[in-house]
């Protein structure tokens, strides 16, 4: 009986942690995009420019970056994550790129 209670207790403690590990990747990426777009919308309104669509970066794309407006913040996970960069080109138009990057992996060496 004591073993069964210990097993149930351990399962109750560890199940939220396991579900977070599997469910958080999409929610973290969605939060990154949502937060980034909120800042870009405010910037576009201040500068009286249209809000750019998010474009997926493809290897070899020619980029015309005159001024970086915002880069999404670094996440504290050790895996490939979505990042966004919004910039102005030489014509002054806003552009947003979505790309994948390996996060910093602090303390994982």
Domain count, the chain: 1
78 inside domain = yes
Q: What is the CATH number of the domain that holds 58?
A: 2.30.140.50
Q: How far apart are CA 102 and CA 82, in angstroms?
A: 9
Domain that holds residue 30: 25-102
Q: How far apart are CA 42 and CA 48, in angstroms?
A: 10
93 inside domain = yes
Q: What percent of the chain has pLDDT over 90?
A: 52
77 inside domain = yes
48 inside domain = yes
109 inside domain = no
Mean predicted confidence (pLDDT) in 74-90? 88
What are the pLDDT digits (tens) for 1-39?
566 555 454 555 554 444 444 445 678 788 888 999 999
Q: What phi and psi, each to the nearest 5 degrees, are found at residue 45? A: -65, -40
Could you tell me the CA-to-CA distances from 9 to 3, 5, 13, 16, 17 in Å, in that order?
A: 10, 6, 6, 12, 14
88 inside domain = yes
pLDDT at 109: 53
Mean pLDDT of the chain: 81
* Residue 28 or residue 46, greater confidence: 46
* Lowest-pLDDT choice from 5-9, 69-73, 79-83, 92-96: 5-9
Q: How far apart are CA 28 and CA 84, in angstroms?
A: 13
pLDDT at 99 over 90: yes
pLDDT at 98: 95
């Amino acid at each position: 009986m004591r073993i069964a209670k210990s097993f149930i207790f351990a399962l109750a403690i560890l199940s939220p942690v396991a579900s977070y590990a599997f469910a958080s990747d999409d929610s973290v990426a969605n939060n990154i995009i949502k937060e980034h777009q909120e800042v870009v919308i405010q910037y576009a309104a201040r500068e009286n420019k249209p809000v750019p669509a998010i474009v997926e970066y493809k290897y070899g794309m020619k980029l015309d970056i005159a001024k970086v407006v915002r880069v999404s913040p670094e996440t504290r996970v050790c895996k490939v994550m979505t990042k966004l960069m919004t910039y102005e080109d030489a014509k002054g138009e806003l552009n947003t790129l979505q790309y994948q990057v390996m996060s910093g992996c602090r303390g994982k060496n």
